[in-house]
Amino acid sequence: MAQLEAGLDQRWRQKALCRGMSVDLFVIKPPRSLKPEHLERIKKAKAVCEACEVKRECLCFGVAFDEAGCVYGGVYLSERQIIKERRRMRREGGLAA
Ligand code: SF4
């Protein structure tokens, strides 16, 4: 349910620490596999997220809307990572089966 709420109610974005920053830091979609420069960007993006108070809402949004290739809530969302996060959210009761 939290995941759905994060998708419908996006007021959390007003508290996003990354507001006004370049999306290029958070959108990392390599043509094939991640290269060292991609990993460096992911590391920088995660460092911003670390201090963000809306990490949970952000991660729920990224997972709900299949935002693979981006950092949401301090997690780089590969397709595999999205599946993993969905399983975790189901276990925690934040996502309907
Ligand atoms: S968790 Fe990261 S990507 Fe999400 S709103 Fe906060 S700073 Fe931005």
Q: Cβ distance 62 to 91 under 8 Å?
A: no
- Bridge partners of 77, per DSSP, are 70
**Using a 6 Å cutoff on CB, does residue 48 contact ligand 1?**
yes
Q: Minimal CA–CA distance to 71: which of 9, 15, 28?
A: 28
Alpha helices (H) in the chain, listed in sequence order: 2-8, 36-50, 55-64, 79-91
Ligand 1 atom at shortest distance from the alpha carbon of 58: 4
Minimum CA distance residue for ligand 1 atom 2: 49
Q: What is the pLDDT of residue 32?
A: 85
For the stretch 17-67, pLDDT in tens is 999 999 999 999 888 889 999 999 999 999 999 999 999 999 999 998 888
Is residue 95 pLDDT above 80, yes or no?
no
pTM of this structure:
0.84
